[in-house]
Amino acid sequence: MSGFDLASAQQAAAEGRTEEWVQRYLAGGPWANPGLSDGLRLQQRWWRGPVATSVQRLERCCGPEPQMEFRMNPEGWERRVEAIAASLVSLAALPPLIVEYRRGVLSVRDGSHRLAAIVRLGWPYAWVLIWYNSLVDYQAEGKAS
């Protein structure tokens, strides 16, 4: 599990170590997100994935739009999304997006820039790791998929 790409996330999931993979991923490197890491540790989570998910089902929480929970200035946002889009060669080379299930909505909590780059490239889906805040939601969503 040296890199953070689709294969390493799939291997961790197969070994029942998704949460460990997520915490290692969030701890350092170019995608580090210590705030999310700390938040995920506050309670038990249930994980699904990585699963290929239509980009149309995913909602960003970060970006330049006024309704975003985490607003960025448009120029900084554009530079980062453009740089990511220019560097992408395949979805398998990317870490899966980390997504929270919120009453049927899949909220991208880590990977909004990557999602925007994926959409810009016209790719129809993204690989995601979905966390659920309750066993009831995890089980209900599993029956619906």
CATH code where residue 80 lies: 3.90.1530
Summarize pLDDT for 20-48 with one digit per residue, the tens: 999 999 998 777 899 999 999 999 999 99
Q: How confident is the model at residue 121 (pLDDT cuts 50, 70, 90)?
A: very high
Q: How far apart are CA 5 and CA 8, in angstroms?
A: 5
- Domain housing 135: 45-144
Residue 70 has pLDDT above 70, yes or no: yes
State how many domains the chain has.
Answer: 1
Spatial contact of 111 and 95, defined as CB atoms under 8 Å apart? yes
Q: How far apart are CA 109 and CA 133, in angstroms?
A: 13
Identify the pLDDT of residue 140.
86
Identify the pLDDT of residue 106.
97
Identify the pLDDT of residue 1.
35
Whole-Å CA distances, 39 to 11, 53, 133, 135:
24, 24, 12, 18
Summarize pLDDT for 2-11 with one digit per residue, the tens: 489 999 999 9
Identify the pLDDT of residue 29.
76
52 belongs to a structural domain = yes
Q: How confident is the model at residue 143 (pLDDT cuts 50, 70, 90)?
A: low
18 belongs to a structural domain = no
Residue 14 has pLDDT above 90, yes or no: yes
Q: How far apart are CA 70 and CA 92, in angstroms?
A: 27
73 belongs to a structural domain = yes
Identify the pLDDT of residue 12.
96
Identify the pLDDT of residue 141.
79
Summarize pLDDT for 78-112 with one digit per residue, the tens: 999 999 999 998 999 999 999 999 988 999 999 99
81 belongs to a structural domain = yes
61 belongs to a structural domain = yes
